[in-house]
Structure 1
């Protein structure tokens, strides 16, 4: 045991507590025939919780964690603290990038040895913990070698380095029983068209993802391959801008049945969408896999990765997840970090506990809306004409025949209210 969380007990569900406890998140509560924990499938993000030093674009590190440093001893201490936090929260899952959990070596071979050693250590920790691995991924954006991208880099040696890194991380994810593998293009884009070959870079990215899928099948990995849309940050343009853009990319390279989406709330907002829009679109395309739950500061206008605190927003997000049938291998990863002034160990626990409660409250509202059925009934009523013989026949007809029928039948269609305000008021009854 470490002494980092000394004095902080394991959190319990106690809606009447006046101290730190879960007031809405009851893992055992049954909703739609499933335990709340199994609906939400919470995961702790290793990078923000244990690797982020508290810097921002205008100031350096504010956190001084006892495990900060580039040694294997400190990497193991970091893992010890991480699993203590998982146990305090009762977190069923966690997620990592390779760079979060191992020190950088002087060569690829040394970094690989460090990584494999710490993976063995994590496997030992998992033997004595309830916490599983939701997904692993590779950090191919922080190191200076990735300043021009990884798969889309103009230097083929960096493409090769990136491919070797992903192979290593996929092997580790499988070894730890991870249920998904995620790719997100932190720097897969451009800062100026003056030095960019869009066609070439897109082809490189497509071939890279095909290699990932091929390797998944080669090693018998049963989890999902997930791509995370990431717009405008840090690059001016990125190839994985939003769900629609990624789906077009998947179709172009024949991967639409092989790859799903890991959708982040903050990224949806940066792309000019709502979170529920991106979730609903992914579900309609059959590629909704998992989510990163966080929020942005709407005054700042950039990806601040804050813990969620808005129940109505969260409820609408889980409504779309539930409409899609719920998570299969995916879950709710808190890709969220403390504010740089929140220095104490208690802040780290409180941030996650509050977010888990907000998600639980939002989930219960979403379940209630589904069980009530009014929203779905209103939606079905609005499109009922398309289920009639007339509606079905239109889609099997042609323009000339339709034009003749319109004139001969003398139809005079009139607009009908979409009842947006009525529906918004209905949602407010539940949140």
Structure 2
């Protein structure tokens, strides 16, 4: 045991509580549409923001002082100890990590691998003792200076090889810990200027890299989902995994649309000029929906601030699409969210997750009621009802359609989209 959280008691569900550390809406055992709430939401803590982030931003450095900050394996084990204490206090069923979150960076690939294997065994012991499960693992292929020009898309084949070898070790670790997914996020798979970029070459490299990862995962018997996380920009000017539609086109191009799905983040959707629910609905329509990173941006800042969610209507619309898609299978709700730089106290870390989990619980319940009542779906079906009678139109041709329109001699009248009324319906639930 560590003393980082002091004598804070485990968080419990109490709808009438007045303190900061009680769930007022998240009751893991509450049944929603025939399933426990915990099994619907599948909450996960992000190791990087919760335990590895020092509190910096583009204009200032470290503000957090954590006793485990440092580059030794002893401190890495302390970080794991604190992490599992927090998981227990929150009752979280899952967690997620990058390799560099759980082990310090070394001077060689061999030592990186040794350290990763050591800490993987240590985490595995904690999981076996009753800790949460691993939702997904991933490799950090963007922070180290070697990746300044990308990993899979790097112009230097030695960097490509180092990144590929690193993904191999992270897949091994994820598989060993029983991870239910493996995520690839191309944080720097993009370009700053076309003046020094061969788009076609870099895209081919990225496609081959992903194929290698899929092949190796299946070779070692990893049965979880392989996920790509779309993001349009930041830190690069343009990233090749811009949004769900772009990722799907990429997967189709390389024959991977049946092998890889997407992990969709709310903040990234906004940066791409979409809503979160748009990206979720499109992923479901394309058959590549996998998992979500739940956070939000500051809409005044205009960049990826990774704040904890606090907007119930937004989360309700997101979980409405998740439920319509059939809910999570291997995926879940990962809080890819970090404290503000001025939130220094250990209790802030707990309170942030408690509040976010309550917001998501309220959003899920509102979404379930909307779906069960059917008001939105009834209106949607009515809008397209005429197509149910005229499906043959899509099998026709332009000349035949023109002949029909000429013969009927009608000029179709527009019909109201009723948007405001539908928005009013949503507001009845949230």
Shared fold, TM over 0.5: yes
* Paired residues of 2:267 and 2:306 also in contact (CA < 8 A): yes
Which segments of 5 or more consecutive residues in structure 1 lack a partner in the other structure? none
- Would you say 1:394 and 2:373 are equivalent positions? no
**How far apart, CA to CA, are the structure 1 residues paired with 2:275 and 2:164?**
33
Which segments of 5 or more consecutive residues in structure 2 lack a partner in the other structure? none
The DSSP-based 3-state class of the residue aligned with 2:137 is: strand
The DSSP-based 3-state class of the residue aligned with 1:255 is: coil
Aligned position for 1:14: 14
Task: After superposition, give the CA deviation of every residue in 1:97-132 in whole Å (9 maximum; x if it has no partner).
Answer: 000000111110011101100000000010112400
1:7, distance to aligned residue in structure 2 (A): 2.1
How is 1:73-112 mapped onto 2 (pairs within 5 angstroms)?
73-112=74-113
Aligned position for 2:352: 351
**How far apart, CA to CA, are the structure 2 residues paired with 1:334 and 1:135?**
12
1:410, distance to aligned residue in structure 2 (A): 2.4
Aligned position for 2:405: 406
Aligned position for 1:201: 202
**How far apart, CA to CA, are the structure 2 residues paired with 1:191 and 1:7?**
49
Task: After superposition, give the CA deviation of every residue in 1:164-207 in whole Å (9 maximum; x if it has no partner).
Answer: 00010001101000000000000000001111000000000000
**How far apart, CA to CA, are the structure 2 residues paired with 1:51 and 1:179?**
22
* Paired residues of 2:44 and 2:335 also in contact (CA < 8 A): yes
Task: After superposition, give the CA deviation of every residue in 1:269-328 in whole Å (9 maximum; x if it has no partner).
Answer: 000111000000101001010000000001100000000000000000000000000000
The DSSP-based 3-state class of the residue aligned with 1:185 is: coil
Aligned position for 1:331: 332
Task: After superposition, give the CA deviation of every residue in 1:116-172 in whole Å (9 maximum; x if it has no partner).
Answer: 000000000101124000000000000000000000000000000000000100011
Aligned position for 1:429: 428
The DSSP-based 3-state class of the residue aligned with 1:395 is: helix
Query: Which 10-residue stretch deviates more, 211-220 or 363-372?
Result: 211-220
How is 1:226-237 mapped onto 2 (pairs within 5 angstroms)?
226-237=227-238
The DSSP-based 3-state class of the residue aligned with 2:264 is: strand
**How far apart, CA to CA, are the structure 1 residues paired with 2:187 and 2:240?**
10
* Paired residues of 2:84 and 2:131 also in contact (CA < 8 A): no
Aligned position for 1:318: 319
Query: Which 10-residue stretch deviates more, 90-99 or 409-418?
Result: 409-418
* Paired residues of 1:230 and 1:238 also in contact (CA < 8 A): yes
**How far apart, CA to CA, are the structure 2 residues paired with 1:421 and 1:395?**
30
**How far apart, CA to CA, are the structure 2 residues paired with 1:218 and 1:124?**
25
* Paired residues of 2:149 and 2:155 also in contact (CA < 8 A): yes
* Paired residues of 1:180 and 1:330 also in contact (CA < 8 A): yes
1:351, distance to aligned residue in structure 2 (A): 0.4
Aligned position for 2:175: 174
Aligned position for 1:266: 267
The DSSP-based 3-state class of the residue aligned with 2:362 is: helix
Aligned position for 1:246: 247
Aligned position for 1:2: 2
User: Structure 2 length normalisation: TM-score?
Assistant: 0.99
The DSSP-based 3-state class of the residue aligned with 2:413 is: coil
Aligned position for 1:69: 70
- Would you say 1:186 and 2:187 are equivalent positions? yes
Aligned position for 1:223: 224
The DSSP-based 3-state class of the residue aligned with 1:43 is: strand
* Paired residues of 1:83 and 1:129 also in contact (CA < 8 A): no
Task: After superposition, give the CA deviation of every residue in 1:200-249 in whole Å (9 maximum; x if it has no partner).
Answer: 00000000011111112111111000000011110001000000111110
Aligned position for 2:417: 418
1:407, distance to aligned residue in structure 2 (A): 1.0
User: Structure 1 length normalisation: TM-score?
Assistant: 0.99
Aligned position for 1:281: 282
**How far apart, CA to CA, are the structure 1 residues paired with 2:386 and 2:404?**
17
1:409, distance to aligned residue in structure 2 (A): 2.1
**How far apart, CA to CA, are the structure 1 residues paired with 2:176 and 2:159?**
26
1:408, distance to aligned residue in structure 2 (A): 1.1
1:418, distance to aligned residue in structure 2 (A): 0.4
Please, what is the CA RMSD of the aligned residues?
Answer: 0.6
* Paired residues of 2:147 and 2:188 also in contact (CA < 8 A): yes
Query: Which 10-residue stretch deviates more, 330-339 or 408-417?
Result: 408-417
**How far apart, CA to CA, are the structure 2 residues paired with 1:38 and 1:226?**
20
Aligned position for 2:134: 133
1:54, distance to aligned residue in structure 2 (A): 0.3
